Amino acid sequence: MELFRVTGGTPLVGEVTVSGAKNSVLKLMAASLLVEGRTVLTNVPRILDVTIMSEVLRRLGCEAALEGDTLTIDVPAVPGTEADYNLVRRMRASINVLGPLLARRGEVRVPHPGGDAIGSRGLDYHIAGLERMGAEITSEHGFVVARASRLHGARIWLDFPSVGATENILMAAVLAKGTTVIDNAAREPDIVDICSMLKEMGAEISGAGTSTLEIEGVEELRPVTHRTVPDRIVSGTWAFAAAITQGDIIVRRGEPRHLEIALDKLNQAGAHIDLLDPMQPGEGFRVRMDRRPKAVDIVTLPYPGFATDMLPMAITLGAVADGPSMVTENVFDARFMFINEMLRLGADVRTDGHHAVVRGKTWLSGAPVKATDIRAGVGLVIAGLRADGVTEVADAFHIDRGYPDFLSQMRGLGATIERIKVEDDEFPAV
């Protein structure tokens, strides 16, 4: 097992550069299945999830090679129709091969997905939407099995603006016959990025970035070269890290327009936030905190609300803030698993349903903890920087799934941190 060992007491100061969004690039990789030929994605983060998704594509008959930040995907004329069971169970985003393969091949077998332990995330919306488009879908031996001679357009209402369901239905609809309308669609920048790439491929889509997407199916698409949108969750993580550690971080290529509520909360907490170039917001921004942060209440909501992926950072901010705060989680029912680990660091947090009351302390106390998901792992590392002594965060692989060059970036900001391998029995049970 590998863990991060963090010594507290050092504010993070310096610069980081944000690469492409994990939550976008994995879906762009799935979208490449819609067309034969070579798709090229640039600004790709070097993270474990990209490695896993590349292998998912290879086992479907594709070739995938990452050089630098450029990923080249060669899709055959007849890609496979069964996604690898063990790979899909490791990463939920791989369920997004369902829509493209169904539209392209007329049949697909995809295992029920795994991924982060953050709560129930069923496929009901995915399945209901595709069934409205003419698919016959069953569950067999741990697989979702979908068939359709050709999908047709339909009007689909999502009871909740599910990102994954919006993406799967969208990618299936671009090759369906007729018009598909998705009401209450997700609005995340990642959705807009997928729409942009699909339109470059020849898809006819309107409404990207709004709650209503309209897709007119086309007969065929063409492969393209596409640049991935910057990762707003990574950008937001560094912004919160600056505030939590009372540091000063320049976040290059961070897009503040994708983080308006998160940055506003940091401003309320006392942080100074400046755009690197007010005329070019995509150049990045700077976050400075020269005192202990003030407590602020935070509520997670679908975009453009405060992102659920940022909840661990919100809890950590509250844990070291001056005063009490309330953090409310409205998206995933098990996000608060992270709080159990924060309690080991001495945080004062009480939960009631989907609410957490956090009473801030000047300092936390270092202890062995365990990452339960990508964002929780990073939240615990950042918390360790505001803890007396040493904090060891086990299951470092979670952080690898979403944060490229994490160790070097942390060290570049002045953190005292190392990554070490230990035998499982060397790490206390937590």
Catalytic residue numbers, as ranges: 116
Interacting residues of 103 by C-beta distance below 8 A, sequence separation 6+: 34, 151, 171, 172, 173, 174, 175, 176
Query: Residues 49, 26: contact at Cβ < 8 Å?
Result: yes
Annotated binding residue at 23? yes
Residue 218 labeled ligand binder: no
- Residue 118, Cβ density class (10 Å: 0-12 exposed, 13-18 middle, ≥19 buried): buried
22 is in an annotated binding site: yes
* Cβ within 8 Å of residue 53, ≥6 positions away: 26, 29, 30, 91, 93, 94
Q: What is the DSSP letter of 353?
A: T
Contact 392, 8 (CB under 8 A): no
Q: Are 338 and 372 in contact (CB under 8 A)?
A: yes
| DSSP state, residue 146 | E
Q: Which helix (H) or strand (E) holds 24?
A: helix 22-31
Residues 179, 133: contact at Cβ < 8 Å? no
CA–CA dist 326, 176 (Å, integer): 45
CA 197/CA 214 separation, integer angstroms = 16
Annotated binding site: 22-23, 92, 309, 331
Annotated binding site for UDP-N-acetyl-alpha-D-glucosamine: 92, 309, 331
Annotated binding site for phosphoenolpyruvate: 22-23
